[in-house]
Structure 1
Amino acid sequence: MKILIVGASGTLGKAAAEELGARHDIIRASRSGLDIAIDIGDAASIQAAYKKLGTVDAVVSAVGNVHFGDLADMDEEKYRIGIDNKLIGQVNLVLIGRHYVSDTASFTLTTGILSKDPIRYGSSASMVNGAVDAFVRAAAIEMPAKQRINSVSPGVIVESMEGYGPYFRGHNPVPAARAALGYAKSVEGLQTGQVFEIF
């Protein structure tokens, strides 16, 4: 398969590329380039990349920005960071991409444990993750042709604990390589409308 991995320069994206790259043709995308540049916060960037790539068989999104902050200091602008990037950016990868992928293609989006197990300063991440998971479940029943859509919802990643550890006390960190199995399950399996929780 020809698989587009968006966010391939990040911890999860690299792990997904390594897992899937053993069996498939991987196209690595990030905001700064790699094989192709995609800024999910810019619909025009997404469209231009799809046009350049032609038909792909799977799209994996391992990217998305949110603002972490005390609820007392949050405002619409701070919430908009996650809404406009991690939520609408990933939704646009599907809405635009459905016209450029094969009839049996899959889309795999990324959310995270905070939709079910919130932490201090994480209200935006919890909100956005929950919205993306709900979108996946609902969009699956209306996807065109035989296209599929799922999300991978990992716990805090082992490789990210240096920065995030203080906020995830008591959590069992997940190695990126284990989280990558969720992307393989979504891309290479047949399920749709699923949230693959890897906690």
Structure 2
Amino acid sequence: MKILLVGATGTLGSAVHQELVERKHDVVTVSRTGGDLQFDVTDPAQVAELYQTVGQVDAVASAAGHVPFKPLRDLTVEDYQAGVTGKVLSQVVLVREGLAHVTESFTLITGVLAREPIVTGAAASLVNGAVEAFVRAAAIEIAPQRINAVSPTVFTEALDVYGDYFPGMKPVPLAEVVRAYVRSIEGRQTGQVYVP
């Protein structure tokens, strides 16, 4: 399959890229500053240009999305807008613009905070919940194309940096999150939120 991988240079994106290549897929990587192509997917015009550049693909997988983490009292309207733009609208536009260019599926990224909130994570909870709701809604309209989301908790490999933010939550090995991407891309289900 020809797969467009967005957010390909981060921890998750790099691991997904490696696995997809090992599985013999043709992967086109995209990020703001690296990868095969450099585009900012928070800009709808750049998303449209990205699809014009890449042409037809079988699948799109997103591992990109920035959300601010601050105490609720400190979160501003601009912080919430940044989270919505950085993780919700960017992925919604990837799907909307991709409908004419993607033959099989979309896989989006969300996260545990949609279900299990943490202190300083109100904006992340809001945007992750929005992405998951969008996936369920889009699935009933875009058939035969499919859409799913992957919703991990903190990666085992990132506990040294982020573990204190997720007290008592069971971490997940990055390899399990990558398997959820493979399941979404190569499987046949739609409207699913995979929780590795």
* TM value normalised by structure 2: 0.97
In the alignment, does 2:9 pair up with 1:15?
no
**Equivalent in the alignment of 2:57:** 56
Which segments of 5 or more consecutive residues in structure 1 lack a partner in the other structure?
Answer: none
Q: Deviation at 1:154?
A: 0.5
Instruction: Say whether residues 1:151 and 2:152 are aligned partners.
Output: no
CA deviation digits over 1:131-162, x for unaligned, max 9?
00000001000005x10000000111122222
2:36 pairs with 1:38: no
User: Retained in 2: the 8 A contact 1:2–1:25?
Assistant: yes
The answer to whether the Cα contact below 8 Å between 1:6 and 1:38 also exists between their aligned partners in 2 is: no
- Alignment size in residue pairs: 195
Task: Quote how far apart the aligned CAs of 1:33 are.
Answer: 3.1
Unaligned runs of 5+ in 2: none
Give structure 1 regions of 4+ aligned residues with deviation exceeding 4 angstroms. Answer: none
* Counterpart code for 2:46: S
Identify the residue that residue 26 of structure 1 maps to in structure 2.
27
Please tell me whether the aligned partners of residues 66 and 83 of structure 2 are also in contact (alpha carbons under 8 angstroms).
yes
Please name the residue that 1:82 is paired with. Answer: 83
Question: 1:47 maps to what in 2?
Answer: 48
SS at match of 2:40: coil
CA distance in 2, matches of 1:132, 1:41: 15
Q: What is the RMSD computed on CA atoms of the aligned residues?
A: 1.0
1:69 corresponds to = 70
Which has the larger displacement, 179-188 or 155-164?
155-164
CA contact (8 A) 2:154 2:166 kept: yes
Shift of 1:75: 1.6
**SS of 1:120 mapped into structure 2:** coil
After superposition, give the CA deviation of every residue in 1:100-152 in whole Å (9 maximum; x if it has no partner).
Answer: 122xx1000000101001100000000100000000001000005x1000000
> Following TM superposition, by how much is the alpha carbon of 1:85 offset from its aligned partner in structure 2, in angstroms?
1.2
TM-score by length of 1: 0.95
Distance 1:129 1:179 in 2: 16
Give the equivalent residue in structure 1 for 2:135: 136
Residue 101 (structure 2) aligns with: 100
Does structure 2 retain, via aligned residues, the 8 Å contact 1:150–1:192? yes
Given that residues 152 and 196 in structure 1 are in contact (C-alpha distance below 8 angstroms), is that contact kept between their aligned partners in structure 2?
yes
